[in-house]
Structure 1
Amino acid sequence: MAGRTGERGTPPAGAGRAAEAFPGFAELAGGVLGKAVPLYLSMAAGVAGVLAAAAALGHAGTSSLAAYALTAAVFNPVLMAVQGALRGSMPFIAEAGGGELGPVVRDAAWLALSAGALGGLLVTAAPELAAAAGAAEAAAGAFGALPLLMGCALLAASLQSCATTLLVALGRSREAMRTGLVGTGLSVALVLALVPGAGPLPVLGTAGAGAGMLLGSAAAAATGHLLLRRAVAEEGGGSGPGRPDWRAVLRIARVGLPLGTTMLIKFGVLGLLVMAAAGAGAAEAAAHQITASLAGFAFLPATAAGQAAVPFMARAAAARGPRAARRPLLAGAAVALPAVALTAAATAAAAGPLLGALTPDPRVQGLVLSLLPLLLLLVLADAAQALPGMGLIAVKRTSPTLYSFALCYGALAAAAFPLAAAGGLAWLWTAFTAATAGLVAGQAAGFLRATGLR
């Protein structure tokens, strides 16, 4: 695809870009900001959907919110692992051209379908996994059809992730943003209508949340693949369905395996934190879920800026050696860290009225407010570790990220249940913040080591 251009007429990544004049710091920061904004809007919409579900279920009852949190504790790490594996398709898309695009799209879709189906089965077992962890009592029988519906939603979300990953690889971030907005908009509308039974609709509770997520993900998957087919057709290829080439599917999976494993470790341990909080009580489970959602929202600028900075770092490394990736990383940090600090401060300032919308339970509200100082520290540390992590992706050295997460989050997983039992959410979130600070050191050291040689 040597002749393909990305957004705003920029040429594709590769040898041609490596020969371009290296931009200055201000130009780098402006470029990162311009690419990050559409990604941020899509991510913010997704977090808004999570908060809408939490708000609807919080008003339906603390046990309903606990059931949702426990199911999400399985859903999120599985989906993140699938998304990490699907990122292995990006270099194949970058290398393909014209008629070669269709087979890559087809094989990535089969990987998403296979991994999504297996992951969906695991999500349906959320009540049993919660019981094994000693956390099912907090849900008080409120699971209902939620695990089955969210298992189906995971399959649809895997197909959606396939489409958005490939759209980003083709330089179509606006189409990826539209895909996310379609799914989130429909999901939020349905959750807010189905959970409380708006108008003539029956009260569905947790089943309504699951149904809303399923239908929203299915709509986003359909939209994304339609936009993807159009984009591939414009590149001279075809993306119609066909029989899989399982050897090609496995090649994609092998490239994405380190990232998928890191995602699984991260979100698997975050799921354990939910279960550890639930072991302390239903109010603790609900408060943990709300605080984690607020932290996720405040962290979004770092994720968006980090992903936007990856092409700049990769091109710099290809042109001038790995050490040249450091300046684009600093430009990404100059965009991300102030934005994260402002978002976190605004979130903390608005916590009072926001909590009234999320839950009527005063105990849950009090627990969340008590965690706000730790939330601010954690989000800033998480942003600081994310940027060098993205830099390691850019220079194709992802093993340090895997080792850092395995060490820091492994220790957090081992300590989570004893700490929650002994000191509740305060001790649990202190350990969470300390583990994230450890990631800052590990990721930074890994990036400096990987970029130390020309």
Structure 2
Amino acid sequence: MTRRRGPWWALVATAGPLYVTMIASSAAALVDTALLGHYATASLAAFSVTIAVFNPVMSMMQGAERGVLPFVAAHKDDPEALLPVVRNAMWLGYAVGALGALVVMGVLTFAAARIGTADAAVQIVCVSLSNVMYTAAVAVGQAVARTVAVAARDHEVAAVRRIVAVGAVLALGAAAFFGIVLVGLRHQVVSVFSSDHVVLAGVMALLPLLLASVATDALQAVSGFGLVGLRVTRPSLTWTLLWFGLLGVVAVPVAESGGLRALWSALVVANALQVVSKLASFRKHSALCAAAEPLPASATA
């Protein structure tokens, strides 16, 4: 009889390759940021506005694809049932990507660009550093969704909650590791992206808020992926629309009145509110795993 793997090993074994793949796919944007930062601050600022449009579109497409993770995990031993799931996910990605290309813009970067050229450059460097660290949480979250889906199928409430707890620890651990490296090598790391002393000083000043943002973002991502694993997607959508919607409304006036520090502080608050809301929703809906009937495809918050 084979011994069942614990959640630690299962999550690490799945998240590791995912993280490497995701970092490799985003390497081009990091290189572009570094090259433009050493070419001219104005060019880096202009690039930040372009990325403000491109990144949300890609995030919407990736989010649509991640939504099918629990369905893929549920049919991992049934290739014939898996094929239509993958095919439908492909068309879903196309549809969401086309819609996102028409209506989406990164509000925070747009707000930073309104302050000034240097602030827009600081913003894109901070976003680039944040993305490298946050990608680890996304990789862990995808592993959480897959593993939770299997445990939920077997109606194991304790296992479902333990998987998300382990995922949260792993995501925070990864964020802490990258944060320590970034703080210890801050001058060397930041200078890779720009030689402008104003930009360098601006990024250094935002490092504490950047790290707080990554930590809270990691927690909300893992709890959101836990809900995805339960096939309960409406709570995540509700809380994201509520808290990030409010952030989007106040982003420009906050940035204009308080600068980038106020803007990143608002982001930390929005992330923290998402953590509390999504964890509460996860605890509520994970209790349904004990029911004999399969979990619903969606539910209210």
Compute the TM-score of the two structures, normalised by the length of structure 2.
Answer: 0.85
Equivalent residues of 1:287, 1:365 under 8 A apart: yes
Displacement after TM superposition at 1:47 (Å):
3.9
Distance change (3 Å), C-alpha of 1:450 and 1:104: closer
Q: Report whether the alignment pairs 1:72 with 2:72.
A: no
Q: Which has the larger radius of gyration?
A: 1
Equivalent residues of 1:58, 1:358 under 8 A apart: yes
Q: Report whether the alignment pairs 1:400 with 2:235.
A: yes
The residue number in structure 1 matching 2:298 is none
Work out the CA distance in 2 between the residues paired with 1:312 and 1:22. Answer: 16
Work out the CA distance in 2 between the residues paired with 1:34 and 1:376. Answer: 25
Work out the CA distance in 2 between the residues paired with 1:320 and 1:117. Answer: 37
Work out the CA distance in 2 between the residues paired with 1:369 and 1:45. Answer: 26
Distance change (3 Å), C-alpha of 1:354 and 1:417: same
Work out the CA distance in 1 between the residues paired with 2:57 and 2:144. Answer: 26
Distance change (3 Å), C-alpha of 1:353 and 1:374: same
Work out the CA distance in 2 between the residues paired with 1:375 and 1:386. Answer: 16
The residue number in structure 1 matching 2:295 is none
Equivalent residues of 2:255, 2:262 under 8 A apart: yes
Q: Map 1:174-189 onto structure 2 (within 5 A).
A: none
- The one-character-per-residue Cα deviations of 1:164-216 (angstroms, maximum 9, x if unpaired) are xxxxxxxxxxxxxxxxxxxxxxxxxxxxxxxxxxxxxxxxxxxxxxxxxxxxx
Which residue type is aligned with residue 59 of structure 1?
A: H
Distance change (3 Å), C-alpha of 1:103 and 1:299: closer
Which residue type is aligned with residue 448 of structure 1?
A: R
Which residue type is aligned with residue 52 of structure 2?
A: A
Q: Map 1:7-406 onto structure 2 (within 5 A).
A: 23=4, 27-87=6-66, 91=71, 95=75, 108-113=89-94, 115-116=96-97, 119=100, 122=102, 268=105, 271-406=106-241
Displacement after TM superposition at 1:411 (Å):
1.6
Displacement after TM superposition at 1:106 (Å):
5.2
Equivalent residues of 2:60, 2:96 under 8 A apart: no
Equivalent residues of 2:60, 2:100 under 8 A apart: no
Equivalent residues of 1:93, 1:101 under 8 A apart: no
Distance change (3 Å), C-alpha of 1:58 and 1:70: same
Paired positions, count: 287
- The one-character-per-residue Cα deviations of 1:237-291 (angstroms, maximum 9, x if unpaired) are xxxxxxxxxxxxxxxxxxxxxxxxxxx7xxx5xx110010000001000101100
SS in 2 for 1:359: coil
- The one-character-per-residue Cα deviations of 1:72-130 (angstroms, maximum 9, x if unpaired) are 1111111221222334555379659556766665555455455545655x49xxxxxxx
Q: Extract unaligned runs of 5+ from structure 1.
A: 1-19, 124-263
Distance change (3 Å), C-alpha of 1:339 and 1:71: same
Work out the CA distance in 1 between the residues paired with 2:149 and 2:278. Answer: 17
Equivalent residues of 1:378, 1:433 under 8 A apart: yes
Work out the CA distance in 1 between the residues paired with 2:180 and 2:165. Answer: 22
Q: Map 1:397-436 onto structure 2 (within 5 A).
A: 397-436=232-271
The residue number in structure 1 matching 2:299 is none
Equivalent residues of 2:42, 2:117 under 8 A apart: yes
Equivalent residues of 2:136, 2:171 under 8 A apart: yes
Displacement after TM superposition at 1:56 (Å):
0.9
Identity %: 38
Equivalent residues of 1:322, 1:450 under 8 A apart: no
Displacement after TM superposition at 1:396 (Å):
1.2
Distance change (3 Å), C-alpha of 1:62 and 1:375: same
Q: RMSD of the alignment, in Å?
A: 2.7
Displacement after TM superposition at 1:64 (Å):
1.4
Displacement after TM superposition at 1:365 (Å):
0.7
Compute the TM-score of the two structures, normalised by the length of structure 1.
Answer: 0.58
SS in 2 for 1:358: coil
Which residue type is aligned with residue 183 of structure 2?
A: A
SS in 2 for 1:72: helix
Equivalent residues of 2:45, 2:117 under 8 A apart: yes
SS in 2 for 1:320: coil
Distance change (3 Å), C-alpha of 1:441 and 1:278: same
Equivalent residues of 2:141, 2:222 under 8 A apart: yes
Distance change (3 Å), C-alpha of 1:428 and 1:315: same
SS in 1 for 2:192: helix
Moved more, 389-398 or 346-355: 346-355
Which residue type is aligned with residue 392 of structure 1?
A: L
Equivalent residues of 2:220, 2:278 under 8 A apart: yes
Q: Report whether the alignment pairs 1:446 with 2:281.
A: yes
Which residue type is aligned with residue 45 of structure 1?
A: A
Work out the CA distance in 1 between the residues paired with 2:175 and 2:99. Answer: 35
